A and B are shown apart, each in its own frame.
Chain A
Amino acid sequence: MLILSRKLGESIVIDGNIRVKIMRVDGDVVKIGIEAPASVPVHRQEVYEEIQRSNQEAMTKQTLPLPKLAGATAKPATKLDGKSDMI
């Protein structure tokens, strides 16, 4: 891992088009500003971990009986406006 020291207001540049700037330091909280092209997804690591945990909990045996939705018949499934009829 590359480790760099930065002062408040200083930045690092990644791959020429991603800029990471130290915006504020307050005790053990560091505010970081990130400028990146729209094509570069930026997320907190917790989001990845949360989704991964949720996936592991969701993976199931197919014999599982499915619960019934409340008022399931009242609201018909939205037909997404695509051409093929996948579900």
Chain B
Amino acid sequence: MNHADTIEMETPAAPTTNQIHLPLGILGFEQIKNYALLANPAEKPFAWLRVTENASLAFVVIDPFVILPNYQPDIPQSDVDFLELKVAGDALMLGIVTVHGQSRATMNLKGPIVINRHTHTGKQVIIANAGDYSVQHPLPLAEVAV
């Protein structure tokens, strides 16, 4: 193994953290504006959007395109402007997951969280084509071993 290989090696257990600012909060949680986005490789493709001021509270989130590659959220122009998105690649999309139990989980496709990757500012966006999608889109879960 040469030196370059050593540098590029990943440490699989190390979670990555990013501070996310949601100036308007999340619908129903308007007062909570600061979150940490934590991705633990062992839990992928799920990640956590944890409340900075209260580490015991969090949302489970997922890249909606992992579940639905042809998801086509129409982000209103006012939100594009608010988030200062210049190109599609500026946006990180997260679907909020509701875990109803080990055998049922859903994600919200009407109101994804859209984050500007460069400014780390985000907003829960009600997509213009919300009528085409569900707030409780079922996730395909592995059978739970009995």
Name A's B-contacting residues (CB within 8 A). 38-41, 43, 47-48, 50-72, 75, 77-78, 80-87
Contact = CB atoms under 8 A, between A and B. Distances in A.
A75 B2 CA distance: 31
Contact of B111 (A51, A62, A66, A81): A51
A62 to B, nearest CB: 5
> What is the predominant secondary structure among interface residues of chain B facing chain A?
mixed
Nearest to A81: B89
Given A53-B135, A55-B124, A67-B139, 20 more contacts: A43-B130, A51-B27, A51-B135, A52-B28, A55-B29, A60-B58, A60-B59, A60-B60, A62-B50, A66-B43, A67-B101, A67-B105, A70-B140, A70-B142, A71-B140, A72-B44, A77-B66, A80-B93, A83-B89, A86-B115
Contact of A87 (B37, B59, B91): B37
Contacts of A55: 26-29, 59, 96, 108, 111, 124
